[in-house]
Structure 1
Amino acid sequence: MIAGVTISLFFLLAVVVSGVFARLSPIAIPLPLVQIALGAVIGAVPGSAISIDPDLFFLLFLPPLLFLDGWRIPKEGLLRDRATVLEMAVGLVIFTVLGIGYFVNWLLPSIPLAAAFALAAILSPTDAVAVSAITSRAPIPKRLLRILEGESLLNDASGLVCMRFAVAAVLTGTFSAGEATLNFLQLAIGGVAIGLVLTWGVTRAKDLVSMKLGEETGSQILISILIPFGAYLAAEHLQCSGILAAVAAGIAMGYEEQRGKVLAVTRVRRAAVWDTIQFAMNGVIFVLLGEQLPGIAMGAATVVYETGHFHPIWLGFYVLAISAALAILRLIWVWISLRFTLFRAARRGETIVRPSWRLVVAASLAGVRGAITLAGVLTLPLVMTNGLPFPARELIIFLAAGVIIVSLLTATIGLPLLLKGLELPRELSDRQAEDEARGIAAQEAIKAIEAAQHNMGEGKDDADLYADVATRLMEIYRNRIDGRPAMSDAQAMRKSEEIERRLRLVAARAERDAIFKLARERKLPDEVTRRLVRDIDLTETRLTTV
């Protein structure tokens, strides 16, 4: 027990050190590759080997990661390009499962067809975090990036659900397309409903408690961490999809956030906690792969011998072949999806702007596999229901890990070269929406200051002091509305500072309410909303931490 805890702490230390190594490297090395290498170093230490319980691993890692994806996905882009996103996230997943499944079974007959479908399903999800990190060094249209992010959210769920069906077919030896379709609808509808209802109920309950007893930041953060696990476990208990429940809970949490019922300090600290959770979990998954990789490679080599190939180099050939097949299938689907998108735009009478062929190839090359693929493949059962080992489990895990590495390297090297010097299409900037939102929020802040100033100073001997401070603050907001730089705050007496602090709090809360109102009315992108609310939250946190 103590040894397991010690190794887990070393994993977390490796995640920290990997970030240092990645920043010190003179060339841009994807962080997951550094983490895999450090994991291999840990695995070389005698006594460091650990065994993974697939069900426990699935429960610990996937619900919070899927929940966070749903929480933070830019929903206005998801709704605007919903048809394209669904084509990529559902259609491409099914296309990939069928194409890669049959291809893997043909390439490696030692992998049964159902197990090959399981491998193809877990290879279908893409990693938007990795894509965002890679494309930050290359020009890429923001709309394309949002589509890739939306695809990543939904194909995480669809890919993992398909994997569950394929694994069930391996374990039972039977599969019915009609029965699977009905089961999928039951799993999907039930899972989504449970995730939405549970999040709505929990948030309403904690709001009620906070109204009566006050808000406790630590409890609020802990509740947000427990929600994805609660949604997942409840859905699984009711024989629905825990995966979709976690995603739906995250999406519902994003909408609940826009109600603005949480204290600023809670939002700031909660965001920091979730950033840490995401960083740690993603990192630990790759470190764990590195630690397991030598044993996995040995098991994979054993399976390869059964195919008649007696040199381990064939493992690399299989990885490259599957990676190439994934890229080709994705390119075909992206091209088809683009044709449908242009056809729909033409029917609506919109101006047709044909993207450069380089953007089409970039959208295909951006299909980077990452943490969800790795977490999913590590949850494959160890044994069948009859007690026999799961067929070719080590080989499947090795192939998935190899595809992840190849996709990371290909995108890291290929995307910047492909997009270098590319003239991006004109897009509406978020800057205009942000400026308009700041102006509206400043107007609401001025109104709130005027009302609060009268209430605070009415009937008091120092009412003029309230008026002076309020005038200075309102001038700051008027300068913001007019686009002029804000005047510097003058030093005042202690009481003047206290009045100013209280009025600033009133103004900040009015600003935030205005921003949330614009977000609820879908007049402001989620990304801009989060940026503006975070600025206001930081201001309020500073003013309330005295």
Structure 2
Amino acid sequence: MQSVAIALAMLAAVLASSFFIRLIPLPLPLPLVQIFLGILIAGVFQEGVTLDPEVFFLLFLPPLLFLDGWRLPKDALRRDWLPIVLLAFGLVFITVLGLGYVIHWMIPVMPLPVAFALAAIVSPTDSVALSGIARRLPIPERVASVLEGEALFNDASGLVAFQAAVLATVTGSFAVSKAVSSFFWVASVGLASGAVTALAIVMLRDAFTRRFGDEPGSEVLLSLLTPFAAYFIAEWLDASGILAAVVAGLVMGYTDLSTRQDATTRVRRHTVWEMLQFTLNGIIFVLLGEQLPDIFRDAVSIIEQTGHHSPWWIPIYALVICLTLALFRFVWAYAAMWVTQLFRRKPASNQNTYMRSLLILSAGGVRGAITLAGVMTLPLTLSSGEPFPGRELAILLAATTIIVSLLVATISLPLLLRGAPKASNTQHHLQHDLAWRSARDAARTILDKETKTLSEGSAALDSEIYAALSERILTSLDEALGEAPSDTESEADAMRRHAQERHLRQLAAQAARDALFDLARQRKISDGLAQDMVRRLDLDELRLY
């Protein structure tokens, strides 16, 4: 009963954090509020939650990474793939090696493999934490897309490196050649298995729904189970379940542009995933706050073994880690931008804008839920049964690094973006006009065809009704159901007119959706814009019921 009460208290804390962040006039990051509420829970219940690292890893990471891959703008990924790859993989590799040696030099009692594991798990950035800070800031669109794409793929690369370092610590052996071959196996097979799993699920779902119809509840549940299916299959093949979940999300994002689903299903699925993302991210940070007091006490005893008896050495260690991360990130971001310009043969047109973008890329490397979820999965014991060396200190340093990075971004990003020119929306408006004209033309074509067919078999009065309905639908697809039936209209006629209008509106909305998805597949508009406009059509269609 105590554990149930703690779980409910954590959910209540996640809910309360969303209220507090709107009430507090200061621009505090939401994760900091959630950590503070977790500390309050620990003080009230006087009993910590015992976490099973494997269960924690499985419950939190696959759905979060799957959702990141699902919602990543694919046009931005195609356009900015070079800087994203350089930051997501090259920077992680440099960080693991460089920061790992710095941590081991600074804290000799922490074994080198554990230092590498800590360096690996603090290397991934978190786009959700960054968006919580920068939601009201005018971050340039290209910089924001690079940060979002980097956050997705460095999650995977950092976690793979983290797992390799943990395995070396647990088994006590490490060979470079074996590690490299193992990395390529877990990466390639993880990518392939995730793509195949998602494609198989989509094909089976479409075949079933075409024959037996769509049921929103089961469709939403299937989407929730997909990342776990990809994860388990990859792990069964001794590959990376994390990469499998990421790629499964990317595949689901692509298939959304070509598969037909009921509007009710899409709207409900979007709502459920929004709630799940908010809840999982919130629980992770509340759990951190709830675990912090015990972790701090255990970490202090390890600090004393280094000869430093003051717990103030913990924030000093964390500050050194953050400064090292910032230095690596600035240098590598500069190199990535230089290589990108060299590859595209397009030098920077404005040096001030170039330097501002570089500093934003550096300050935007916020650590968050993935770092915390990963470090909490450190095993409790080695294969010999001995306690995992420096586990509590590694968790505390990772948690402190998250907090420091959030504070630095909260302070620095508004300063860096002060006076920044507003991004031009010309391209977005052009794409929006193209999308709307195409959707409207598609809706007019299907309506003309359908009303002609219906009118040929109906009375003249019905022909006038069909024409009026068609014009009303075309002039405003976002209006409500339409005019109420007149007093002289019989109940049967009113029901028939309502059914006719609903049928025509559904046809028009589906034709408009198909046109939008076709433009996205042809890369004439961004998939983000297509999905946003389709969501509006879905909401409008639901108003017919």
Q: Does the Cα contact within 8 Å between 2:367 and 2:406 map onto a contact in 1?
A: yes
* Amino acid corresponding to residue 409 of structure 1 in structure 2: L
Superposed, 1:148-297 pairs within 5 Å as 148-297=147-296
Who is 2:322 aligned against?
Answer: 323
Following the alignment from structure 1 to structure 2, what is the Cα–Cα distance between the partners of residues 344 and 449? 48
Deviation digits for residues 331-385 of structure 1, max 9, x if unmatched?
Answer: 1111111111121222xx6775543322211110100000000000000001000
**Shift of residue 237 of structure 1?**
1.1
RMSD: 1.9
Following the alignment from structure 1 to structure 2, what is the Cα–Cα distance between the partners of residues 523 and 197? 27
Following the alignment from structure 1 to structure 2, what is the Cα–Cα distance between the partners of residues 154 and 427? 28
Who is 1:134 aligned against?
Answer: 133
Q: Is 1:515 equivalent to 2:516 in the alignment? A: yes
Q: Does the Cα contact within 8 Å between 1:359 and 1:419 map onto a contact in 2?
A: no
**Shift of residue 490 of structure 1?**
4.7
Q: Does the Cα contact within 8 Å between 2:451 and 2:467 map onto a contact in 1?
A: no
**Shift of residue 9 of structure 1?**
1.5
91-100 vs 41-50, which moves further: 41-50
Who is 2:490 aligned against?
Answer: none
Deviation digits for residues 471-517 of structure 1, max 9, x if unmatched?
Answer: 5236516xx9xxxx999955544244443232111111100011111
User: Could you list the runs of 5+ residues in structure 2 that have no partner in the other structure?
Assistant: 487-493
Who is 2:451 aligned against?
Answer: 453
Q: Does the Cα contact within 8 Å between 2:348 and 2:354 map onto a contact in 1?
A: no
Superposed, 1:399-478 pairs within 5 Å as 399-423=397-421, 429-461=427-459, 462-473=461-472, 476=475
Q: Return closer, same or farther for 1:108/1:427 CA change in 2, 3 Å cut-off.
A: farther
Who is 1:307 aligned against?
Answer: 306
Who is 2:373 aligned against?
Answer: 375
Following the alignment from structure 1 to structure 2, what is the Cα–Cα distance between the partners of residues 381 and 333? 32
Q: Is 1:11 equivalent to 2:10 in the alignment? A: yes
Q: Does the Cα contact within 8 Å between 1:465 and 1:496 map onto a contact in 2?
A: no
Superposed, 1:22-171 pairs within 5 Å as 22-171=21-170
Following the alignment from structure 1 to structure 2, what is the Cα–Cα distance between the partners of residues 351 and 41? 49
Q: Does the Cα contact within 8 Å between 1:450 and 1:470 map onto a contact in 2?
A: no
Q: Partner of 2:419: helix, strand, or coil?
A: coil
* Amino acid corresponding to residue 19 of structure 1 in structure 2: S
User: Could you list the runs of 5+ residues in structure 1 that have no partner in the other structure?
Assistant: none
Identity %: 45
**Shift of residue 47 of structure 1?**
4.9
Following the alignment from structure 2 to structure 1, what is the Cα–Cα distance between the partners of residues 10 and 479? 47
Q: Does the Cα contact within 8 Å between 1:104 and 1:116 map onto a contact in 2?
A: yes
Q: Partner of 1:421: helix, strand, or coil?
A: coil
Following the alignment from structure 2 to structure 1, what is the Cα–Cα distance between the partners of residues 45 and 7? 15
Q: Does the Cα contact within 8 Å between 1:260 and 1:513 map onto a contact in 2?
A: no
Q: Partner of 1:138: helix, strand, or coil?
A: coil
Q: Partner of 1:321: helix, strand, or coil?
A: helix
Who is 1:537 aligned against?
Answer: 538
Deviation digits for residues 244-300 of structure 1, max 9, x if unmatched?
Answer: 111111111111111132111100000000000000000000000000000000111
* Amino acid corresponding to residue 434 of structure 1 in structure 2: H
Q: Does the Cα contact within 8 Å between 1:469 and 1:499 map onto a contact in 2?
A: no
Q: Does the Cα contact within 8 Å between 1:342 and 1:352 map onto a contact in 2?
A: no
**Shift of residue 176 of structure 1?**
1.6
Who is 2:491 aligned against?
Answer: none
Following the alignment from structure 1 to structure 2, what is the Cα–Cα distance between the partners of residues 188 and 306? 38
**Shift of residue 426 of structure 1?**
5.4
Deviation digits for residues 44-76 of structure 1, max 9, x if unmatched?
Answer: 124542100000000100000010011000111
Following the alignment from structure 2 to structure 1, what is the Cα–Cα distance between the partners of residues 339 and 537? 42
Following the alignment from structure 2 to structure 1, what is the Cα–Cα distance between the partners of residues 297 and 263? 52
Work out which of the residue numbers 391, 394, 407 in structure 1 matches 2:392.
Answer: 394
**Shift of residue 457 of structure 1?**
2.6
Who is 1:362 aligned against?
Answer: 360
95-104 vs 461-470, which moves further: 461-470
Q: Does the Cα contact within 8 Å between 2:341 and 2:348 map onto a contact in 1?
A: no
* Amino acid corresponding to residue 190 of structure 2 in structure 1: G
* Amino acid corresponding to residue 532 of structure 2 in structure 1: R
**Shift of residue 180 of structure 1?**
1.0
Q: Does the Cα contact within 8 Å between 2:192 and 2:244 map onto a contact in 1?
A: yes
Q: Does the Cα contact within 8 Å between 1:38 and 1:287 map onto a contact in 2?
A: yes
Q: Partner of 2:44: helix, strand, or coil?
A: coil
Following the alignment from structure 2 to structure 1, what is the Cα–Cα distance between the partners of residues 406 and 20? 17
* Amino acid corresponding to residue 244 of structure 2 in structure 1: A
Following the alignment from structure 1 to structure 2, what is the Cα–Cα distance between the partners of residues 162 and 454? 63
- Count of aligned residue pairs for this structure pair: 535
Following the alignment from structure 1 to structure 2, what is the Cα–Cα distance between the partners of residues 95 and 428? 38
Q: Does the Cα contact within 8 Å between 1:217 and 1:266 map onto a contact in 2?
A: yes
Following the alignment from structure 1 to structure 2, what is the Cα–Cα distance between the partners of residues 365 and 152? 13
Q: Partner of 1:199: helix, strand, or coil?
A: helix
Q: Does the Cα contact within 8 Å between 2:122 and 2:367 map onto a contact in 1?
A: yes
* Amino acid corresponding to residue 5 of structure 2 in structure 1: T
Q: Partner of 2:28: helix, strand, or coil?
A: coil
Following the alignment from structure 1 to structure 2, what is the Cα–Cα distance between the partners of residues 429 and 5? 51
Q: Does the Cα contact within 8 Å between 2:481 and 2:543 map onto a contact in 1?
A: no
Who is 1:385 aligned against?
Answer: 383
**Shift of residue 213 of structure 1?**
1.4
* Amino acid corresponding to residue 139 of structure 1 in structure 2: P
Deviation digits for residues 208-249 of structure 1, max 9, x if unmatched?
Answer: 111121111100000000010111111111111111111111
* Amino acid corresponding to residue 355 of structure 2 in structure 1: W
Q: Does the Cα contact within 8 Å between 2:193 and 2:230 map onto a contact in 1?
A: yes
Q: Partner of 2:543: helix, strand, or coil?
A: helix
Q: Return closer, same or farther for 1:428/1:340 CA change in 2, 3 Å cut-off.
A: farther
Q: Does the Cα contact within 8 Å between 1:137 and 1:416 map onto a contact in 2?
A: no
Following the alignment from structure 2 to structure 1, what is the Cα–Cα distance between the partners of residues 498 and 109? 75
TM-score (norm: length of structure 1): 0.94
* Amino acid corresponding to residue 184 of structure 1 in structure 2: F
Q: Does the Cα contact within 8 Å between 2:381 and 2:388 map onto a contact in 1?
A: yes
Q: Return closer, same or farther for 1:393/1:83 CA change in 2, 3 Å cut-off.
A: same
Q: Partner of 2:260: helix, strand, or coil?
A: coil
**Shift of residue 418 of structure 1?**
1.6
Deviation digits for residues 364-413 of structure 1, max 9, x if unmatched?
Answer: 01000000000000000010000111110000000000010011011011
Following the alignment from structure 1 to structure 2, what is the Cα–Cα distance between the partners of residues 189 and 298? 41
Q: Partner of 1:339: helix, strand, or coil?
A: helix
Following the alignment from structure 1 to structure 2, what is the Cα–Cα distance between the partners of residues 433 and 128? 25
**Shift of residue 470 of structure 1?**
3.9
Q: Does the Cα contact within 8 Å between 1:260 and 1:516 map onto a contact in 2?
A: no
